[in-house]
Structure 1
Amino acid sequence: MRLRELLDTDELGLLLLVGADAGDEVLDRAVRAVPVIDLADPGRFLSGGELVLTGLAWWRGDGDAEPFVRVLARAGVTALAAGEVEHRLVPHDLVRACRRHGLPLVAVPPETSFSAVTEHVLRRLHRREVGSLAAVVERHRRLLADRAAPDSVLELLRHSLGLHVRVLSSTGRRIAGAHPPPHPRTAAALAARYLAARRAGERAPHRVTVGERPYSLLPVAGPAGPASELGDWLVVVEADVSRWPAADAELLDRVGELLGDARRAHEEAKAALRDLAGRSLELVRGDGPAEEIPVRLRSTAQSVVSGVAHWPRCQYVVADGAPAGALRVLLEEALVEPDGPVPVSPLDIAATVEGERAVLMVLMPEPAPGVDCAALQRRLAAALSRWLGPAEAVSAGVSSPVGDPGNARRALDEAHNALRVAREAPERVAVRGPGDLTAHILSLLPLIPADARRAFAARHLGPLRDHDRLHRTDLLGTLEAFLACDASWTRTAARLHLHVNSLRHRITRIERVTGTDLTRLETRLDFLAALRAG
């Protein structure tokens, strides 16, 4: 039964002293047993879910409540009910300790006996056991009919055990379950513990304590594969389930099986989307006439994406630098984060692998502006922080959104060009988009093959380097400063601590050595490009 039902029973006269400000989360806690305990260390008698009744015979003064309440909180009891007979009130020391540990505290008035509370709970539990089978069967029927909805599955645990359980991805993203999601640091710690246990071959449940709170982590069965650990789902229970009664543990196992059905349904839908991405990529990359691509792409989309009557507006993302299968999963995770780079769901992403690259088609809702490259870079960097070695780097390129399938080839090429620009970036994880291709003419340098860039730089700068080496001058440094100061004589002279006439003499010498005219904009751009390329 629920704690709120006890508190609403007028004949018992119970009063909630600690926990009222937490609202429904406290009132909906389940009561599965009602032991009477007056030992200072009751831990060995607790398994979680109890309404502990105490007459406070163990309390003698301030400080006694802290160790008693700490044991109850760690055991996962539902609430503590303190009788007022012994001291005529509930000590403030006990109230403070319960507040510190987040344990609901109920006052039992002198006229209410513990036996009355116990009998009331047992009568309710007995009546519910008689009628529970039909309710459980009905819930299972609904859950099996809606197996693709993990939130529906977790309702079984909430109704049966009063537990708020979550399903997270192996990167810590909330997939289903209680709101709000765990704090990002907590989610990251839980995911890291799960992956470490999985790689070590530990047997579930995996136990971990984060911020003095115990958690149990259990895997959700799903398809195997080379990148499967990155696509794993894990059940997160804020309790030590190893101490649960056998019946509760069995129920958790059954819920895990239902969640496995939900995950498999999700993977089937993702497989269809991967097929869409693969087939559309073949069409875009193929040698067929460009005018045939719209018809074929439109037909492919209609046959795979349920309910789509036309080729959907989409955006391409390509990435490399890590194993393509793992990178595909991590990109999907980064894109669907709440308040992330783009408002899409996992079923809005058609992802595939092309050689050593991950290629994603993000099906864009209207009127979404497109992927936020800076946000995607932050999310992807956070997800990759545990995977990249010191010398590894990941790059990603993003295209403009495209609504006409006839422009799909252009969009994919744009994404690959942005990927080339990203590879030249200083960050270990870099994402670049269409804006980075047009923001500055020099941003197009990475699109030129490296050998051609080096030859261009050597042709323009080689004479200056040779002159500086032979005559111990610094004409190349003077040229760099001159271009950095936008060819301003006064600013360049001040930067180099020269008189303007001395600077003019140096620039004239540069022009003679290179056979160029630095008053021409084209010449200055050539030298600037050579400096960037070399």
Structure 2
Amino acid sequence: MRLRALLDTDALGLRLLGGEDELDRSVRGVMTTDLRDPSRYLAGGELVLTGLAWRRDANDSEPFVRLLVQAGVAALAAGEAELGDVPDDLVLACARHRLPLFAVHESVAFATITEHVVRQVSGERAGDLAAVVDRHRRMMTSGPAGGGPDVVLDLLGTDLDLRAWVLSPTGRLIAGPKVAGPSLEPETCAKLAAEHLAAARTGRRGPHRVLVGGARYSLFPIRSSGRSPQAARDVRETVLSDWLLAVEADAGDWPEERLDLLQGVTQLIAVERDRRDAARTVRRRLAQEVLELVQTGAAPAEIAARLRVAAPVLLPGLGTAPHWQVVVARVEWEGEQVEGGPVAQSLLEEVLVDPEATGPEPSDRIAVAHAGDEAIALVPLPAVSSEHDGPETGLLADALLQAVREPLSAGLNDDGRLTLGVSAAVHSAEGLRGALEEARHARRVAAARPGRVCAAGHQELASHVLLLPFVPDDVRRAFTARLLDPLKDYDRRHRAELIPTLEAFLDCDGSWTRCATRLHLHVNTLRYRVGRIEQLTGRDLSRLEDKLDFFLALRMS
């Protein structure tokens, strides 16, 4: 459609303030923004709608308009509801850059203009796509009764015969059609998320077309419209937090009208994403307040009082004093400096979601703060009876990353790492400071391990496990070679199984009977093998020091 056509529609309430000679420009989309720099979300040809919340004084208009012109937008429409008349400095800036400027009457909602533009630019479509877009808009803006993204995906299925799902960057299924057949398997979700993250790291624009499990999918990124005005240009700052829309179809031969429609759907779903992110604000603030008290050495009574305030928000309806667990995560990138704290915060919120939780928002019991490049989660656990309370209570490090390792490794590519540490559960405010330090130590142990995605829990902080990762590689190799290489060489030449015998002997705490039973050997045969081990290495397995050296060598090998 042309800009001139917008003025011919009285219901839009548009008044031209400048750019009369440019009204034959084509409009290919619409975007609503109050960011001071929205250029990264613009593809060119958009009608930009703004409420002017970005404008603090007259000096802000010139750089804002310059950015829009550089992005190739078709025109700017400014709402009069916030400031009354459109400021003269904005009118002059648009005139200097030959950018058409409209005023939007305060009685006209931006949604009305958006609906009209989307309907007009999606001319040829399968079925009545104007009705589809209108129903999508109404469903997404009608609050809880509208059903959220699930209803939008149902409409795609019923009106366009497209099966689609909304996935998190870790492959968690956020929303899917309820009336269009079975849902995606978790393995498929993880593979789709991995394909999406890998493609996003290349910088290619979506949709990304992939083949998974014999089916063809097109992946559309869902980018939050609520990012800060200082949103970074580096894809690594958002790649691990953006949702995606997976459509079971090959978009390679789609007409532009259908592609535009799907892009509009991602924008509608982004509204729901922003709404969920806004709901996390209170939990994040509570976590930040508790974290600051813990780190500054506040009195346990003060921390406990803050936890009593947090408990109803984090554990709605339980009515019991929870136990608490601390999880620390860090996302690090090689090369150029990329702020890791917000990335780790968003990612940790996602990783901590229980995939079996029910309800509209399963992360409503997760509070994550960030300090520098470190994200810190305060996870409440329902109080459990004493017979179920023990070292395995709460979150386990390996279990947290088991299902998300594949997609996150793809997103981290060859230049990023995620390391995560988990504390034991504590029962009171007095234990939180120790839990925080414990989680940080566990994360350092994870960071010393190879791999892009690593985690460690409090169970792994035994002295030998804590110290081994920090032994230099050359020292490790020399130590293990000196003790174990003679045994390995002997095993290769004689098939004597001295190494398995040594491992079993140490696991049985030096008990001849138990070790012989485990290996299905006569005790005399076992004594012969142990004697051969001592002869080849010059060690005495009756001495504690030599047993410990062999134990460490086997752990490091």
- TM-score, normalised with respect to structure 1: 0.53
Could you report, residue by residue, the CA deviation over 1:484-522 in whole angstroms, capped at 9, with x for unpaired residues?
48456978852355599x89xx77xx8xxxxxxx9786x
For the pair shown, which has the larger CA radius of gyration, 1 or 2? 1
Residue 444 of structure 1: aligned partner? 463
CA distance, structure 2, for counterparts of residue 377 and residue 519 of structure 1? 41
Which of 529, 537, 540 pairs up with 1:495?
A: 529
Unaligned runs of at least 5 residues, structure 1? 1-127, 438-442, 466-476, 511-517
Residue 274 of structure 1: aligned partner? 284
CA distance, structure 2, for counterparts of residue 274 and residue 374 of structure 1? 25
CA distance, structure 2, for counterparts of residue 388 and residue 417 of structure 1? 23
RCO higher in 1 or 2 (8 Å CA, sep ≥ 6)?
2
CA distance, structure 1, for counterparts of residue 288 and residue 320 of structure 2? 18
Residue 410 of structure 1: aligned partner? 434
Which of 173, 195, 199 pairs up with 2:197?
A: 195
Which of 339, 346, 351 pairs up with 2:363?
A: 346
Unaligned runs of at least 5 residues, structure 2? 1-126, 334-339, 484-497, 513-523
Q: Displacement, 1:417? A: 4.1
CA gap 1:186/1:278 in 2 versus in 1, 3 angstroms: same
Letter of the 1:145 partner, please give it. G
Residue 336 of structure 2: aligned partner? none
Alignment map for 1:31-180 (pairs within 5 Å): 140=138, 143-146=141-144, 149-178=148-177, 180=182
CA gap 1:279/1:203 in 2 versus in 1, 3 angstroms: same
Letter of the 2:428 partner, please give it. D
CA distance, structure 1, for counterparts of residue 444 and residue 398 of structure 2? 17
Which of 420, 425, 431 pairs up with 1:396?
A: 420
CA distance, structure 1, for counterparts of residue 368 and residue 194 of structure 2? 25
Q: Displacement, 1:300? A: 4.6
Q: Displacement, 1:302? A: 5.2
Could you report, residue by residue, the CA deviation over 1:414-447 in whole angstroms, capped at 9, with x for unpaired residues?
323443554566777543334444xxxxx22455
Asked if the contact 2:300/2:430 (under 8 Å) is kept, the reply is: yes
CA gap 1:420/1:235 in 2 versus in 1, 3 angstroms: closer
Asked if the contact 1:166/1:237 (under 8 Å) is kept, the reply is: yes
Asked if the contact 1:318/1:416 (under 8 Å) is kept, the reply is: yes
Letter of the 2:159 partner, please give it. S
Letter of the 1:274 partner, please give it. R
Q: Displacement, 1:274? A: 2.6
Farther off after superposition, 158-167 or 309-318? 309-318
CA distance, structure 2, for counterparts of residue 519 and residue 163 of structure 1? 71
CA distance, structure 1, for counterparts of residue 187 and residue 142 of structure 2? 34
Letter of the 2:219 partner, please give it. L
CA gap 1:431/1:161 in 2 versus in 1, 3 angstroms: same
% identical equivalent positions: 34
CA distance, structure 1, for counterparts of residue 373 and residue 217 of structure 2? 38
CA gap 1:349/1:525 in 2 versus in 1, 3 angstroms: farther
CA gap 1:422/1:196 in 2 versus in 1, 3 angstroms: closer
CA gap 1:213/1:433 in 2 versus in 1, 3 angstroms: closer
1:298 is aligned to 2:297: no
CA distance, structure 1, for counterparts of residue 132 and residue 202 of structure 2? 42
Residue 217 of structure 1: aligned partner? 219
Asked if the contact 1:144/1:258 (under 8 Å) is kept, the reply is: no
Letter of the 1:361 partner, please give it. L
Farther off after superposition, 272-281 or 305-314? 305-314
Alignment map for 1:320-469 (pairs within 5 Å): 320=330, 322-323=332-333, 324-325=340-341, 326-336=343-353, 338=355, 345-364=362-381, 369-386=393-410, 395-422=419-446, 429-437=453-461, 443-447=462-466
1:318 is aligned to 2:328: yes
Aligned pair count reads: 367
CA distance, structure 2, for counterparts of residue 391 and residue 263 of structure 1? 28
Q: Displacement, 1:286? A: 1.5
Could you report, residue by residue, the CA deviation over 1:21-70 in whole angstroms, capped at 9, with x for unpaired residues?
xxxxxxxxxxxxxxxxxxxxxxxxxxxxxxxxxxxxxxxxxxxxxxxxxx
Q: Displacement, 1:230? A: 1.1
Q: What is the SS of the residue equivalent to 2:170?
A: coil
Residue 233 of structure 1: aligned partner? 243
Residue 440 of structure 1: aligned partner? none
Q: CA RMSD in A?
A: 5.1
1:207 is aligned to 2:231: no
CA distance, structure 1, for counterparts of residue 542 and residue 210 of structure 2? 68
CA gap 1:264/1:209 in 2 versus in 1, 3 angstroms: same
Q: Displacement, 1:165? A: 1.7
CA distance, structure 1, for counterparts of residue 187 and residue 208 of structure 2? 18
Letter of the 1:382 partner, please give it. E
Asked if the contact 1:381/1:429 (under 8 Å) is kept, the reply is: yes
Q: Displacement, 1:263? A: 0.8
Asked if the contact 2:162/2:249 (under 8 Å) is kept, the reply is: no
CA distance, structure 2, for counterparts of residue 499 and residue 231 of structure 1? 54
Residue 274 of structure 2: aligned partner? 264
